Amino acid sequence: MSLVSAAEQLEREGLERIAAATTREELEAARTALLGRKSGRLTALLGELPKLSPEEKRAAGAALNKAKLLLEGRLGEREAELAAAARSRSAPVDVTMPSRPRWRGAKHPVTLIIEEVEQIFRELGFTVALGPEAETEWYNFTALNFPPDHPAMDMHDTLYLGDDMLLRTHTSPVQIRTLQTYGAPVRIIVPGNVYRRDFFDASHAPMFAQIEGLAVDEGVSFVDLKATLTHFAQQLLGEIRTRFRPSFFPFTEPSAEMDVQCVTCQGSGCATCKGSGWLEILGAGMVHPEVLSASGVDPEQYTGWAFGMGPGRMAMARYGIPDIRALYDSDVRFLQQFAR
Ligand SMILES: [Zn+2]
């Protein structure tokens, strides 16, 4: 038999013997018999090498080395297997032990509300539109009919990034961008983060999410606005009472605020609703003709309505959360209760 065949035989029989070992002692005996320095089978075969021609020597040497590496590797693996088996025998699994907790991420309540709002408006034919958070003054104020030095600009307490750039104070610039790009008719829903510097009390935070909506078409009226927003509020909050109050925004005329009955106190007055029994959830109005013109849409042909709301406020109304800051404090104990 050639030395190459002998090496292959050693490999084959060695693997069988290692697999058959069921104790450490048997495994050590196999190691000695196969690879032992003095009397192992590999040592014996290596002793044959000097008798061969140089070419035969090269082939046989390679075959023996391959067998050696393979058997060494398998010996190590089998040793680990036997050790693991020994451990599990000495410490059987206690099936009554409580399992380790597994932590799983969940969506933030504001994200959940945004997704629900998007879904309600998608069913009404609206499309989600997005825009940049760093905006120019023109998109954030001028195109939305804010006259220079309008008091609303103070109220917004804008975070400026430079001479002309700012962090958008509302999602309304996306109205302008969308109308510029696609023209009318259009129906969009715009979720996004907005920034205002000093608004910080029980119902305001300096960075918060907002959802904007815009519908522009021929013959759109205030009746469409009221009907759509009432439908929306009842889809989100159930059969709840709503009311519209006149308001003012530079970019809509006429303008309104929509309130829903406080879900915490059912309208009798509590800290969440500051005793009024109502929660203000959104501002809305008919798009100002100047805004349509600034976006390149003919206000003689088209009319539109728009609204803006804080999903944080929506979450307060929906879940009866008394302080909006709880939504942004990243307290897992608070957030966990919304995990689905
Ligand atoms: Zn209340």
Structure tokens at 83: 């050790």
Closest CA to 187 of 135, 118, 112: 118
Residue 116 has pLDDT above 70, yes or no: yes
234 CA → ligand 1 middle, Å: 18
307 CA → ligand 1 middle, Å: 23
Residue 258 sits in a domain whose CATH number is 3.30.930.10
Residue 177 has pLDDT above 70, yes or no: yes
Which of the listed residues 90, 120, 151 is the one where a domain comes to its end?
90
169 CA → ligand 1 middle, Å: 28
152 CA → ligand 1 middle, Å: 28
Which of the listed residues 57, 90, 123 is the one where a domain comes to its end?
90
120 CA → ligand 1 middle, Å: 25
CA distance 145 to 119: 30
Per-residue pLDDT reduced to its tens digit, 153-175:
665 578 888 888 999 999 999 99
- Domain containing 58: what range? 3-90
Q: Rg of the Cα trace of the chain?
A: 37
322 CA → ligand 1 middle, Å: 9
241 CA → ligand 1 middle, Å: 13
For residue 224, give Cα distances in angstroms to 124, 229, 232, 246: 12, 8, 12, 16
- Residue 326 banded pLDDT, cuts 50, 70, 90: confident
Same domain, 186 and 37: no
Type of residue numbered 30? A
Same domain, 78 and 115: no
For 18-81, list the strands marked E by DSSP. none
Residue position matching structure tokens 């104070």:
169
Same domain, 155 and 70: no
Which of the listed residues 63, 90, 117 is the one where a domain comes to its end?
90
Determine how β-strand 134-136 pairs with β-strand 165-167.
antiparallel
Same domain, 74 and 169: no
Same domain, 27 and 138: no
Residue 101 has pLDDT above 90, yes or no: no
242 CA → ligand 1 middle, Å: 14
148 CA → ligand 1 middle, Å: 38
pLDDT of residue 1: 74
